[in-house]
Every structure is written in structure tokens, then in C-alpha cells.
Structure 1
Amino acid sequence: EGNATAGTPAYMAPEVAAGGTYGTASDMWSLGVISYALFTGEPLFGGDCADSPAEILDEILDAGYLECRLNNPALLDRSLNARNLLRRLLERDPRNRITPEQALKHPFIRSFLSNAGEASDGDKICIDIRFAHLFDSHCVERMERFTRLPMLKRMAMMSAAHLIDDDSVSAQQHTFRMFDQNGDGYVSFAELEDGLRRAGVAVSTDLRKVFSRVDSDNNDALNYNEFMAATLCDTDLSENLALQTFDMMDIDGDGFISPKDLLNFEPNLGSEGHALDVLMEAFPQLLASERGVSAEEFVVLYLARAPPLNIVN
């Protein structure tokens, strides 16, 4: 929690605008302000470009103004669940405002996580049979292949997962949601194992080992980015994506990925010496005296197809 009045005025919660303390509840209010704009196409506060910061704060502190905005006819086109979530996000009393945990379980959010709009078996999210054809039955095989790639390529694919077009990876996205049974944004080992069994996919005896290697931050759960990176198909990768990834990793922009670049890109490597080891694992011919890995070399590594690998059950 804090008590300094700081931030973009239009997104400030009433308690922040009033100079009081703020915390997670204040962030939920800001999420409500953003949601209002997404639902209506209009800003909640400061809609008049001539509004000064002081005028915007006055609007935020005026309960009547908020109620008027929440009766915007544009919201009538939104579902009851959407409007309910919006009102709970924009609850003026932070003590009664919806929490992140409650929001994740709200019917409006669950309708997207489950693709079906209903929950069953306690906190588990049910799988809509209409989307069963999108399940990626080869995801574990690709995860195992991913763990056998040089660390540099694994890092590159983690970055690519941020850049790739959603339409190209819809099967992986739906598969992640199907595994993420409680909708918390992570896939635990138990969820992965249970999801595979429910989908009729044989579970490898090496599954725990594969899971642990994909879990790059060692928190015993796969986040969305880890899962997407590990399950990308060779056909999802392109030269353009490779060059975008290279530019992200070439921190100093000199056309080479040096050990210093790699360390700045991923500080968890700990030292330039370790970063050099990572580069040389992928490029054994690389000399310590060289500037680093060129864009051309990086593209070849990036687009190299992983060897096929069958999981032994």
C-alpha cells in the first residue's frame, strides 16, 4: 500500500484522488476504467479534451457523475455479466470492490476461460465439446523437443511467443485454457496430467521431467508464455519473426548478439561468462574474441527444424 497521489488522473481510484492510501483495490478500479472504455468506446472520465486534471479528479470524486456514466446507453448492448463485473470493478468503496481472485471467478471472465460459460466440479472449468477439435494432442511431444533445444533457441522462442499472431496459435491457446482448470493463468503439473487423461492422450513416464524443464522460472507451474513457447510448431516460425526476435536480443543494436547483450536481455544468466556459454552451446564454432552471433546465423538457428521425437509411454 502507499499514500502518494501519483498516476494518470483519469485512471485514479477515488481513494487515490482523495489523497488516501491505495493498494490492489485501486488497481482494480483502474481496470474498471479501462473496461468501460472497451465496452463503450468512450473514456469514463475526462471525455472532454479540455478537462483539466483538477476537473477530472472532481468527476472521479462525484458519485452522481459515475452513476450517470454507468447508465450510458452504449452499455445496454453488453451482457448482464459484463455490466455486473464493470459495476463491481467501479465500486467506490475499496473495501467492497471486487478482488483479483473474485474477478477471475466472475461469470464474465469464466465465459472466456472455459469457452462454455459454465463451471463444474468445484473450481474446475468445463471444456466445451465444440472446441475439442482445437485440442493440440501433440503438445507434450513438442514440449519434449523444446527441452532438447539449445538454451539460446529456447530463449528466442520465449520471446517469439509474445510476438506471434494469435490466429496462428489458436490450437495452443485453447489447449492452455483447457489445461488451466481453475482459470488462474497457470498450468500445474496435476492440471497438465489430468487434462491429458481427460483428452485421451497417453501420459509419458517422463512427463514430470519435461514439465520441470519447461518451467523456466521454477515455480512448479507453466505460465502462458512458457506453455506457448514450448508448444510452437516449426511452421509457426518465420524469418520475419526471427529478425524481430533478433532485434529484441541485440540490445546495443550493432547487428550482433554478444554475451553482454544476452546478459542484459536475460539478467538471470548471472554473468557474461555464462552468457558466452549459452551462445557457444548453439554455435560451437563461435570464438570468445568474436563480436557475437550475427542476424544471419541467428535466423538459421531459429528456423532449424527440431528433430522428430516420439515419447516412450
Structure 2
Amino acid sequence: MFAAAAARAARPLACAGLLPAAYLTRKDEQARCLERRLADAYHLLEPERPLGVGGHGVVFPGVNKSSGEIMAIKQVSKKHLPPEALKRLGKRVKEEATLLRVAGEHRSVCSYKELFEGDDAWYIVTELARGGELFDRLVERGAYSPAGAAGVMRELVDAVAYLHQMGIAHLDLKPENVLLKSDETDASDVRLVDFGSARFVGPSTENGEELRTRGAAGATPAYAAPEVLRGDAFDASADLWSLGVILYLLLTGTHPFDARNDADDAEVTRRVLAGADAAGAFKGAAWARVPSAARPLVKRLLADRPSDRPAAAEVLAHAWLQDPTRGEGFRDKAAAKAASDALREFHLGRRRFKAMLLAVMVGYADQALARERGAGTAQLGSRRAAMDVFDSDNNGYVTTEDIKRVARLLGDELDEADTRQMLRSVARPGDDVLKVPKERLRHMLPPLYPAHSLRRGDLVFSAGETDPAFYILLDGDVLISHSFLLRPRSGFASKSGRELSLGLHRLRTGESFGETELLEGVRPRASTATCASTSCALLAVPGHLFQLLGDVFTGVRGPIQDQAAARCRGLVWSWASALAAQPDGGQASRTSMTAGSVAWANMEYADTDVKAKSPRDTSKQDQFVVVEDGVVEVDVLDTKTNRRHTHTLWPKDFVYCNERPGAHPLDSAGQFASTVVLALRPVTAAQLTLVHGDVFSQAMSQPSMQQVNTYLVEQFRGEVETVSKKGRIPTHDLVARNGEAL
């Protein structure tokens, strides 16, 4: 079967000398192919800032010049190698490319594109998985079920079964090498990566005997099979051991040979060689979390003798993977939560470091650093500058006190246990438990790279498109704008109308944008971002990394939420003001009110004296009201409890005055459906913009506006306890009618 796959791959691989020239149709084709250079086909994005660095090479993002598709380009250097070593490495690179060409035909393996050879390096081009690590996604989403673990394992085992069928052993299966296709895909859309340790170990085409190899093959000790660690001959069954470790992690949240996540490679190796039973993997609280129907499978996968492990195809057909609801314990929510909590703990140290580094890199510590040092970070997006922030005394080490200090810069407090956990997540054998070399931080987070420089008028993103990135403006100005479709009030059902365009705000160097649609998951853009200066340079933070900012540190999420809320409110305020300025004046109007007057009254629920003071032309219908100038009090009634309270509106605040209870445009989820506005009462002379309720409802129903509703809910309609429980950002404190705090 491998021979057939190789034949299909012949023409593209021959250009890199991967297969014999006999596969070529013309003698001169090989020479012509070898003349083709990487630069002819791809543009490297910021080659000085790779996506990842490992023992097998450096990976960069690159753009295909023909299709515009972003790829992963792995560079394997030829420099400083003696002739024999260079020859061996060249053979290994070409073997890896051949492996990838065959393996990449499976949906769960990053697909192979092509191989280039230059004077100084080889370049392997593959599909780019942009969704981050699988385990990070699982940790982000909290508790999961054994059924969820089974779904993930089915995808992994299916891919491994295909590899083994094609005669390939991966030999470095571990959580870090299981990525998600993109930010938008769910946790089952995985991609296996890093075939630097992979080998052909399948059936030989000569005598049908199983090919076996020797040596550790660069595998990671925590996930390597005993025979690999011993240096014995091994075959594809080594991958089944690694799958057993991953399944154990998914079901228990702990590593079978490093339950406390504090053992170095030497200790993990000793425990693996002693066996899972001796390591205590099959007893205790962690093992109790494993569903009974899955336990025999886990034990067989972690069998010391390769012959005792099941084949990948057998695992795929296992009854528990096919139906994870079998057996006792699958409905045990407490066990599922315990596994989830343990998995979170297993990854938390590393995630905290990633989040902290990223927060410093994108500028969330700048103000605090300015107060501490008189200046912020040296350069946005620089890992080096972020590492220097941790190492404040420039001694080359990061200590627990350094971590606590940076956490305080970001608005959080960490205790000694938290900081030690973080240090252990980056430490290596021989490192001091209280400090680690600063260079250990370099590989915690992939470098951020600016997008291509933009020119005036170029789009960063446009309204309606899905763009899973958060941006930092490194240089230049960006204009955020929004467009609405205005329809006549008599023809809301029509799709025709005229466009109302708003230039919302102009961003300057150092400001961030794009967070609004990412805080609640990736959603279509509500606004358009355009380069508004001669040139612009942007730092793009992938969506899965952006989620780290708020998921780990509340002190960072707060300012991000505040910024998103302020911009959404600014969008609605600008829309209402622009609508009132339209010449026809049929959809909104401006009015000036004196202190002590009534700007709007609820004709069903308000007191009689309040109704008598209200303008008759606006008080018989819902109105969206923006305070342009002055101070206004809004009286709110909860029709269920008959409780009243008063809230103060300041310039640029707004309220939806609803006559009857029920969901409305600023409370589409019905969170405060039992409340109505009783009256609007200017405390000072005030200028208001009033928009007809049906006009406002129609505008908020447009796709580009639906995602901003989250930030516009009028929390003041609830009681103080409701606001604090929800963790929302209240606009102002609540005030009772008698002036006392509620």
C-alpha cells in the first residue's frame, strides 16, 4: 500500500530528489525542478520570529504567492555540519518529507505541500494548524465528559491507525503535537504535527516481516514507550503506549508517571521502566475517575510488553470508544469534574506563564511599568522585552518573587504555591526549584509577528467577515468605521434602503482593537478597520492566544472587557447622534429639556403627576434615549416585586424606555424582562436624542450589530446583588428613590 501512495506522490517529491529519477517522465525535469527556489513560491512572514523552535528545525509562517494561503514552513539548517553528518541529515529530511506526503492524506494530519532545498537549508512546507494545542482548548472549556475524551481519542486513534496501515510510526505522540485546525473548529478537529521522529516501520515489501528500528528517535520521555527508552528494537506499538498516556491524561487529568507534575525526565524514565503498576497508575483517586468500561483499554495500552498492546485498528473498534456511555461511572459528574480540575492543574502553570508573557508583549503592563520605571516595555510584541520585564535585576534568572511582581503589574496576586507551579512548568532537570534561567521563557509562547505593512486605505478587516485575531497597532493610524442600512419606518420589511456610514474612532500607535468579537467566541466583525495613515504596521495575536489573556488573569480581562463595552456603547451613541442629524428627521430627533421636567413617562405604570408632565408625542411608545448633555435620572420598576429604584445617566449614557415588561433590544436574553422604565427626569438642563423604539430594534437586528448586545445590557435594571453575581461592568452605582444606596 505504501508503494502505491509513493507512486501517487512521485512527481511533487521528485523535485526535491525524494524518489528515484525513474519516476520522472523527462530527463531534464529533475534539473529544472531543483532550480526552483522557496522564494519563488513563498513569502516568509517575519523570518526572524519563528512559530516554533525544536530539535528538528525551526518553523515559520509563510504565504503561498499564488494562492495567498498561509502555510507552515519548517527550515532544517545545513550550516556547520561535516560532510558525513550533512549527508545523513539530508537523507533524514527527505525521509520526513516522504513520510509527511503519505501521512498528510489523512484528515487529521497536517497535509504536506512540497520540499525545497537551498544552499543553506531544506524547507518542508505543510498545512498550518492555527487553533492552538488540543489540551489548551480542553482546559479553557472546563469540565468535560468521558464521552468527550472518547471523541478526541477516536480522531487520534483513527489517524494513528492510518499511519500504521501505511507503515509509519509517529514515535513522538504527545499533547503538544496534537493541534486544532483553527480557532473556529471544535476539539475533535485535530491535526497531528511534528514527524521529525517518525520512521517507516511497517511491513517490508521484500519478505513481509515487520521492520523494527532502534534508538530513542528523539521521543519525549514522558510519552515514550519503555522499549524506546531502553534503546531496544521497537515498532509501531510504541505509538499505542503514547496513546495510552494521552488517554489516561484525558480521563484523569494527571500523568500516569508524574501525578504531581514535578518529576524530571530521569525520574519519569525510571518510573516508566518500572511499569505502570509499580508507579501506582492503576490505583488511587485518579484511577477511580476512569470509567469502568475504559479501564481494560487503558491498562492494555500501557502494557510493558509491546506484544500485549492492542493494534490501533483494534483500539478504534473498542466498545468503549464506540459507545463511551457503556459501563459504570460514565454519569458520575463529580468524577468528570475531578478529572477536569486535575487536567486544568496539569496545564495551569504553563498557561499562566503563556498568559503573563503575552499580556506583557501586548502592552497590558505598560502603564504599571511606566509608574515603576518611568517607561513601558521596550517594544510591543517582543519576547525579549517581555523576558526582561521578568528579570528586573538583569541577573539572567526568573524567581518566584519576579513572577509575583509581574502578576501585580497585571492586576493580579499569586501566592508561593502558584509561582512554584509556574517555575516547575518551565524548569529542566538540574534547575533550582526557586529560580530558572530567563531563557526558559523563550519557548513558552510562539513569537508574535506583524502582518504585512499596510498602506493608506488598506483593510485590516471588514464588517461581516470572520477574523479570529486581536490587533496591536505598532505604527500609524487605523480608522474604525461602521455602516448601517437605513430603511423607511413604513418599509422595515424591505431589504432596500440607504447606507449610513460612521467613522467611529481613530486609533493611534500602541492602541489595540478587535477584542469585541473574540471575548464571547469568534464572531463576524461588527466594524471595518482601515489604515488611515501613509502606512500602518500591526501585531496580530491569534484568537487562541487572545483567550489566554482573560482566561488566566482577571486583572487583564477586566480592562479588555471595559474597552469592548466602551466601544460598543460608543458605536450605539454615534449611530443615534448621526440618525438624529439626518435631514428627514422621521426616525430620531433631538430635544432640550429643563431641570425638573419629564422627558418620557410610562403611560401604564407611572404615577399620575409624572404622566401629566410628560411630552404626549413620545410617551405613548418605546423610545431609545441618549443623553447628549446634562444629567438625567431614570426610574425603574420591577413589575414582579413592585420594587422601584433610580439610576443616574451621564453624557453619552443611554436607556431603552419600554412601556411593557418583556425582552427588548438592550436585553434580548430577557435577563431583566420583568422591569419597565417609569420615567426620565432631567436633574439639570439636558439635551437628549430620542430614537423610535421600532427604528432602534430594526438597527439592532442587523447582523453586524447582534454581537455587540452582550456589552449593552442595562445592568442597572437589576439589584446590586444581581450585578455583582453576574460579574458585569456596571455603568454607575444604583441609587434608591430616597437617595440611599440599594
TM-score above 0.5: no
Q: TM-score, normalized by length of structure 1?
A: 0.35
Q: TM-score, normalized by length of structure 2?
A: 0.16
Structure having the larger proportion of residues in helix = 1
Structure having the larger proportion of residues in strand = 2
